[in-house]
Amino acid sequence: MTYLSACATQVGVTNEFAFYLVAIANAASAVGRFSAGWLADRVGSCYLPLMDSSKLMYIALRPQVHLMS
């Protein structure tokens, strides 16, 4: 997070937009924290890590499944 704007300018992002990247990342983090709490209330806190791990497995294995076909 500390070097986000500096790294963004190195890859070609303008200085005006790189300044806002930290704020955008923090806003996305806040949305994720609130939605995870809401989902835990609806589904149950025991099932939430199971759902997260299944999403991560899907994301991790998706490119390999495409190569197998």
> How many structural domains are present in the chain?
1
CB of 43 within 8 A of CB of 35?
no
Domain that holds residue 11: 4-68
Helix, strand, coil in percent for the chain, rounding step 5:
80, 0, 20
Q: pTM above 0.85? A: no
Q: Tell me what pLDDT residue 67 has.
A: 57
Structure confidence at residue 57 (pLDDT): 86
Position 65 scores a pLDDT of 58
Q: For the chain, 69 residues long, give each residue's pLDDT as a single digit of tens.
A: 678 888 888 898 898 888 898 889 889 888 888 888 888 888 887 887 888 888 888 888 877 655 555
